[in-house]
A and B are shown apart, each in its own frame.
Chain A
Amino acid sequence: VSTVASEAGLLAAATGEATEGTPTLRQYLNRIVGRPDDLRVVSREVRPADFDVTGVLEHLERIDQHPAVLFTHPQDLRGRPAEAALLANLFASRARCAEMLGLDPAQAGAELGAAYAARVGRTVTPVTVPSADAPVHAHVLQGDDATFDALPAVRHFEMDLGPVLTMAHAMRAPGEDFYNVTFAKTFPEDGGRRGGITIHTPDMSRMLREWARRGERVPIVNVLGHDPAFWLGSLALTPYGTNEYETIGGCMGRPVRLTPSVTWGAEVMVPADAEIVVEGEIVPGERTVVNPFGEISRQYQAQELAPVMEVKAVTFRERPIMQEVYSAHREHFLLGLIPREGSIFNMLRRELGNVTAVNLPYSGCGRFTCYISMKDPQEGQPKLAALKTLAAAPMFQTVVVVDSDIDVFKEEDVLWAINMYVDPHRDIDLLKGMREPTDFRAMRDNRLLVDATRPRHIAFPTRPQVPPHVLERINLDEWLANGPQEGNQ
């Protein structure tokens, strides 16, 4: 793993890119090059379909390092040098996610979700550019040349069915003018001419049902590289009928530039600034076997049947960068938890007022556990906050409410509060018969609510603290400036 990126010749191409809003992919890579905690480069030839990529990422994970990794010379699915470089793990740090949304890296705690929610609330209408001005149409493969096999798809885990493309698909609702953009896995098969897509999200599943009623082939677009805020915006929790290109534009702070697809023209628009786009059609009534795959719950998802996408065209930029998510790890957790933290925080602030922070910890895969802090909660309020949270997001398995002097981003402190303040008989509630989760969990359709706020109905000790005015008086940098040297004299 090298920290030298210049040889790739990939990162110098940020000139002439967007100047408003959040950074483009290449602008952001330029910003973090030379920061080894945030970007590493592998310049040797690698075989993504033979676990080379996840092998590197797993090594880094085991030493608690979470940089993005740019593989400049990956092989494609036929073992040839791929046109595209491969970028993984970009979203594996809260500080980077904050930066990618235009925040200071120090604003990676409670501010991150709130800032995200504010951004996606300000929708921005997309603009249309002609194909000639669309970077993603620099190269167009059609006919027999248009296959997934030209891409450096990654096989992640030992039991995975095969290499997978992990980024988002865009689909237009039939007879409507709005698009849904959703992360869904694609398993290439049949020489890369088609692939099974695991679509589980409610809105895209609904669109598929609407298309199925018409018995028509479904245009679908697999976007395999774009600006960081494009991906974060695509994960906003929006009601059906929302044009998610507008939501993404809000997140990016500038309009998404769309261009007519090469397959269907203006009938289906594709992101003009994408790195790579695969245009395809879902074949009505046809399904294929996909999975196992190591999924968000850090368990394998079982083999199942999924819709089939036939490839119609592959288009890409000059020297494209294909992105990929290291599933079942931090990056995967963060991509989904940031939008949820923001929307739950806003909902609780609106309805209860005294909620100070929300965290969906890595220990709950960023999906299944929610920590909430409240300032001076009244009797019953913690339980009410937990219930409101579960009503809004029934995928949570465990909701824990603590006082605002507990930092919900420090799991050790949350567990301390549970250990010291919780009387299981009084403070833990088991809700039975909620919606079954799609992920495998032994708790099945039951949920846990934990009120870990300090008991107020009885005399109870407080936490020890150094007087706050003393902490204010002591500037640590000044006091420690020459401390060790003096001590050694």
Chain B
Amino acid sequence: VKRIFWAGCPSCDRDFIVNWELRTGTIPLRCPYCTHRFLADEAARIDERY
């Protein structure tokens, strides 16, 4: 099973799930609720338990 993490959007504060491949790097996540784009390190919170 691919590893995932939960990211909290810094704009709307809602959480969504993301594949581990986007945990680091320069490709922004895209919030499905408000379309805000942000890097994983900029998330309001991260749940990356595995």
Interface residues of A (CB under 8 A from B): 159-162, 289, 292, 300, 302-305, 436-441, 444-445
Contacts and interface: CB of A to CB of B under 8 A. Distances in A.
Contacts of B21: 304-305
A441 B32 CA distance: 23
B22 A444 contact: no
Residue of B2, B29, B33 with highest tally of chain A CB at under 10 A: B2
B32 A289 contact: no
Interface in B12-26: 16-19, 21-22
A305 B17 contact: no
A292 B32 contact: yes
A interface: dominant SS:
loop
A160 B32 contact: yes
Q: Closest 8 CB pairs between A and B?
A: A304-B19, A302-B17, A303-B18, A302-B4, A302-B19, A161-B32, A289-B30, A302-B18
Contacts of B18: 302-304
A437 B17 contact: no
B44 interface: no
Interface of B: 1-2, 4, 16-19, 21-22, 27-30, 32-33
Given A161-B32, A162-B32, A303 B17 contact: yes
A291 to B, nearest CB: 8
Contact of B1 (A292, A300, A305, A444): A444
Contact of A305 (B4, B16, B22, B33): B22
A305 B27 CA distance: 9
B1 A437 contact: yes
Contacts of B22: 289, 303-305
Nearest to A299: B17
Nearest to B15: A159
15 contacts: A161-B32, A292-B16, A292-B32, A300-B16, A300-B17, A302-B2, A302-B18, A302-B19, A303-B17, A303-B22, A304-B19, A304-B21, A305-B22, A438-B1, A440-B1
A96 to B, nearest CB: 32
A170 to B, nearest CB: 27
A437 B22 CA distance: 20
B43 to A, nearest CB: 12
Given A300-B17, A302-B2, 16 more contacts: A159-B17, A159-B32, A159-B33, A289-B30, A302-B4, A302-B18, A302-B19, A303-B16, A303-B18, A303-B29, A303-B32, A304-B18, A304-B22, A305-B27, A438-B1, A440-B4
B1 A303 contact: no
Contact of A436 (B1, B4, B27, B33): B1
Contacts of A305: 19, 21-22, 27
Nearest to A155: B32
A170 B26 CA distance: 32
Nearest to B35: A162
Nearest to B4: A302
A441 B1 contact: yes
Contacts of A438: 1-2
B41 to A, nearest CB: 15
Nearest to A160: B32
A439 B33 CA distance: 23
By CB atoms of chain A within 10 A, which of B16, B28, B32 has the most? B32
Nearest to A303: B18
B17 A292 contact: yes
Nearest to B20: A302
A159 B16 contact: yes
Nearest to A301: B17
Which of B17, B18, B21, B33 gathers most chain A CB within 10 Å? B17
Nearest to A305: B21
A165 to B, nearest CB: 17
A457 to B, nearest CB: 38
A311 to B, nearest CB: 20
A303 B21 CA distance: 9
Nearest to A439: B1
Contacts of A445: 1
A435 to B, nearest CB: 11
A303 B28 CA distance: 11
B38 to A, nearest CB: 12
